[in-house]
Amino acid sequence: MKKPTKPILFLNRIEIDKKACIKLYFRNNQQILTRIRANDWIEFDARYSIYYLEEKDRTIGLLSDLFEDIALVRLDYLDRLPQKNKLNKETCVGTGFDTYKIEKTRKLRELTVYSIDLLGVEYLVIKQHFANDLYRKIKTETFIQWHKQKKFWYLKNTKENFTRLFKLLSNEYKIKLSTSVQVSDTEIRQMLWEQSYKKNKYFKSVPNEFIDYLVINNYAENTISTYYSQVFHFINTYRTKSLDQINGFGASEIDKYHMGLINRRGLSATTINQSVNALKLYYRVVARVKLKLDDITRPTTKKSLPKVHSIEEIQKIIKQVDNLKHKAILLLIYSAGLRISEALNMEKDDVLFDRRLVFIRKAKGKKERYTLLSDNMVMVLKEYMRFWNPEKYLFEGQYGNKYSDTSIRKVLDRARNKAGVAKKGGPHVLRHSFATHLLEQGTDLRYIQELLGHNSSKTTEIYTHVSTRNFSKIKSPGDFLTI
C-alpha cells in the first residue's frame, strides 16, 4: 500500500461528562495543531490532554471539510473502542507532543546577582568573567562598572538599572538573585519568573493584581513564588483561551485541570493542593466571579510522620563539620528548633546571650517569637563571632549578604554521609529532632508549640507520634508467650 502523503487525523467517538463527543487524534503535526487552535469551538480536555467537540448532526462533515486540505481524515475509527474506550496518555493528542508544555528558551548558563553596601549605598554585584563580545558590550555601558580591587561588576540597585542589566544579559544568562537581594517591584519579579519561557502569541503573564495582592498581604516569599508558578502554568495550559475566558471557568474546569496533572504527570497530592490554594485565591482576587470554589476537589494527602535523628546521630553529624560557621549554623538550627530561613535571616543583635534566648524576627507568616539559646550554643556562637566578626547578619556570605541555604544543605549532606547516618533529609530534620527530643524529656507540648512558632497545637501534636518517650513502660504481648 502506498504511504499517504498527508498526515492522518483520526476521529473517534467517546463520551466526556456524559456527552457524546468526537475526539481528534493525530501524530505530532504542527499544521494540524495550528488549525485546531484557530477554531475555538474545538475544546481541550486538560484531564486527558485531548482535543474534542460535542457531536451534533453535522460535526463529522464540518471536521472533514476543515482538515481535508492538510490531512487525511480517517472516519473508519469512529466507533473503534481501544482499551474499552479508556482515555489515557497513549490516546492523547499525539505521540511526542505535550500540549501542556510551555515552550522554554534554550538552556542558559546561570548568573547570580548579589547585594552589597558601599559607603551607605546599596549596589548589585556580579562576579563573572564574560566572553569577549559580551565583555566589550558591557564596557560601553555607563550604568555598570568594574571594581578593580574586589574584582566584580557593580551597579546601583534601581529598577531602571536592573531592567537594563536584564536586557543586556538575558540572551546569554538566566539571572538568579542571592537571598541578599530584596525585590518588591512587580515588573522585575515577573521578568525573573518568566525568563525561562518563550513569549509567543499564546504566552500569558499572571496579572499584576494577583502579585500585588500577595505582596501587600505579607505572604512569604516562597508562597508568592509557588502561587505565581501554579497560576502561571494553569493559565498557559489553555493556549487558545483568552485570560477573560479562563477567568470565566468554574470549579469543574479547575477539577479537570488537576485531574490532567495527576493522570499525565503523576503529581503528588501536596502539589495539587498547593495549586488548589493558588487558584482559589486567584479567582477570588482577580476574576471576582461567584464560583462554588468549595466544590473544588482536593486530593487526600498522605499523613507521613516527620523524619527525626536521634541525639547520638546529631552528635555524630555535628562532629563531622570542621568549618566553624557551618557548625554554628547547624547547631543553632537544632538547638533552637529553627527553620533554615529563620537561621539565615537572623541578625547578630537577635542573639540575647544574657537571657539565653534568640529572637526570631522573620518567621513563617511574618510572626515573631523567642526560642532557646543553649549553653553549648553560647560557647560556639561567641567563638564564631570573635573569629568572623559579622556586621549585620549573624551568618554572612561573601559580600556581607545572608548566607546561602543551598550551601548549608550541602554541608549537612556531606556531614551526614561522613558520619555514616543513613537517614536522609534537609535541615528541617534538625528542627523536627529538636521538638521530638524536647517531648521525650517531658516538656509540655504547649511550650514546644511556642518555641516552634506553630499557630495550631495540632501541628505540634504530630511529634507525639514520633516520640518513643513512654514505649519502655509498655509491655509487648509477645512477652506474654512461653517460648
Active site residues: 339, 364, 428, 431, 454, 463
Count Cβ atoms within 10 A of the Cβ of residue 300 and give its class: 0-12 exposed, 13-18 middle, 19 or more buried. exposed
User: HSE of 155 in the Cβ direction (CA atoms, 13 Å)?
Assistant: 19
C-alpha cell, 34: 495550528
* Joined grid coordinates for residue 124: 548589585
- Cβ of 28: how many Cβ atoms within 10 Å? 13
Four-CA torsion 413, 415, 419, 421, nearest 10 degrees = -20
One-letter amino acid identity for 414?
R
Contact 340, 362 (CB under 8 A): no
| Joined grid coordinates for residue 236 | 498557559
Residue from 269, 202, 279, 196 nearest 242 by CA: 202
**CA dihedral (168, 170, 171, 172) positive or negative:** positive
Q: How far apart are CA 457 and CA 462, in angstroms?
A: 9
Query: What DSSP character marks residue 283?
Result: I
Q: What is the DSSP letter of 104?
A: B
| Dist CA 339 CA 347 (whole Å) | 15
* Alpha carbons 246 and 228: distance in angstroms, whole number: 16
Q: How far apart are CA 105 and CA 10, in angstroms?
A: 32
448 Cβ contact partners less than 8 Å away, ≥ 6 residues apart = 435, 438, 439, 460, 463
Q: What proportions of the chain, in percent to the nearest 5, are helix, strand and coil?
A: 45, 15, 40
User: Using an 8 Å Cβ cutoff, are 311 and 335 in contact?
Assistant: no
* Strands laid side by side in the 369-372 sheet: 351-352, 357-360, 369-372
DSSP character string of 29-88: -HHHHHHHHT-TTSEEETTTTEEEEE--TTHHHHHHHHHTTTSEEE-TTTT--GGGG---
